[in-house]
Structure 1
């Protein structure tokens, strides 16, 4: 995985940013859940839906940014703390996946409530448009028909506006849910790579252990050889020294004998 431009190269900085984003997503999910619980109630206002949409978009942005940062963390150059970083990445993937699961679940709940609202409005529009008020029954037929038609048209226009607004929100939610699904695919690939990396690290560790053992054995053999060599060298030197002493002694004896001969003559 290639390193991505624009991402801090310091592992601790990346780790802090990712952890902070995950916490923000978790907090946003709680706020979204409270807002979603009000959909379809008397507190279901235009302002509520606007707030819900803003927080939902903010959550999606954080999810995409966190996905990018985790990819950057995974692509950092190999260093002496690689094993620790592997464990940190595993924890980040688990925490991020859990936060995304809760966030996407809340998105789906919001979409379902919007669909239920649209269904109710459509049903209400059909009922209201097909049943005139009792107060119109005593009016002349032509006047009653005119009033009923005007009422039905007014209701239909308002209902249509509500339906269009909610269906637009549903489409946006579905698009955002798809984006989160794409992030889950990225996480799945990173988990797979994590497994490969673990295997590679273990293989490298095993290889390093074997190399260390071989090196230790070689050093032991070399040390043993050196001891034997030093001992043999010392023995040879001692033999040579004794031999040299013997030669010197023989030479001295010869010189003494020659001197005696000379003095005698």
Structure 2
């Protein structure tokens, strides 16, 4: 991870990408909501499902790319860059929440569709292999042929329904995996920002403590210099007093002699 100084071009480039990505995520979520509302209704078409799958896949990749860009700006140290980063974190988190909501809505619709499909799909019974040639010219022969044709058509429809059911179940698994993936991005992003915030706070606290220590040290040196000057003055005064006393004693001795 790289750290960035104030006005660093890389930081601004990543920030711009993140901001643009957040807007695209919101736009995609809006489109997905419109498509999801058509699922299970008369307006639903295979084209809508295909478009929904494409836009969901694109948004999922966009989220991963945006998360990668956050890793490149999380180590910023300047306070105004930290404020900008935290704002982007909040915006990206809100966009993720909106994306998760539409995915969960899609999962519920798909699960309901699967339950309804399973309730209507029945296992076809193979027609009886026993035939009686004596009835080949029977008036019921045409009905048997018609019934056999209907059975084959039912089997084909059952196969189509089973394929559609399998596709719905694959979609559900994919959606659930996407939801788990986005939840992991939530956790990683929160952990990165928290860890970096703790580190920066620790550094700032150390700097502030060092500043306090320097200030205290300067004050102590000033006081020590003051006390030293006072002590020096006292020594000079004492020396002058002693010299005066000695001079007086010498004068007394001189005049007495």
TM above 0.5? yes
Tell me, what secondary structure is at the counterpart of 1:158? helix
What residue is the counterpart of 2:62 in the other structure?
62
- State whether residues 32 and 102 of structure 2, in contact with CA within 8 Å, keep that contact through their aligned partners in structure 1: yes
Give me the whole-angstrom Cα distance separating, in 1, the residues matched to 2:141 and 2:38.
Answer: 41
What residue is the counterpart of 2:50 in the other structure?
50
- State whether residues 90 and 194 of structure 1, in contact with CA within 8 Å, keep that contact through their aligned partners in structure 2: no
Tell me, what secondary structure is at the counterpart of 2:122? helix
What residue is the counterpart of 2:95 in the other structure?
99
The answer to whether the aligner puts 1:88 opposite 2:90 as a matched pair is no
| Pairs within 5 Å for 1:112-123 | 112-123=108-119
Residue 202 of structure 1: CA displacement? 4.1
What residue is the counterpart of 1:23 in the other structure?
23
The answer to whether the aligner puts 1:189 opposite 2:185 as a matched pair is no
Residue 212 of structure 1: CA displacement? 5.1
- State whether residues 125 and 155 of structure 1, in contact with CA within 8 Å, keep that contact through their aligned partners in structure 2: no
Q: Deviations over 1:128-154 (max 9, x none)?
A: x69xxxxxxx99763454244123212
The answer to whether the aligner puts 1:167 opposite 2:154 as a matched pair is no
| Pairs within 5 Å for 1:248-259 | none
Give me the whole-angstrom Cα distance separating, in 2, the residues matched to 1:124 and 1:180.
Answer: 34
61 and 147 in structure 1: CA distance in 2 versus 1, 3 angstrom threshold: same
The RMSD of aligned alpha carbons is: 3.4
- State whether residues 115 and 170 of structure 1, in contact with CA within 8 Å, keep that contact through their aligned partners in structure 2: yes
Q: Deviations over 1:243-263 (max 9, x none)?
A: xxxxxxxxxxxxxxxxxxxxx
What residue is the counterpart of 2:129 in the other structure?
none
TM norm structure 2: 0.70
Stretches (4+) displaced over 4 A:
138-141, 218-225
Give me the whole-angstrom Cα distance separating, in 1, the residues matched to 2:174 and 2:22.
Answer: 22
What residue is the counterpart of 1:150 in the other structure?
152
What residue is the counterpart of 2:251 in the other structure?
none
Task: Give ranges in structure 1 of 5+ residues lacking alignment.
Answer: 131-137, 233-265
Give me the whole-angstrom Cα distance separating, in 1, the residues matched to 2:21 and 2:220.
Answer: 52
Tell me, what secondary structure is at the counterpart of 2:121? helix
Residue 35 of structure 1: CA displacement? 1.1
Residue 181 of structure 1: CA displacement? 1.9
TM norm structure 1: 0.69
Give me the whole-angstrom Cα distance separating, in 1, the residues matched to 2:71 and 2:200.
Answer: 17
221 and 12 in structure 1: CA distance in 2 versus 1, 3 angstrom threshold: farther
**How many residue pairs end up in the alignment?**
217
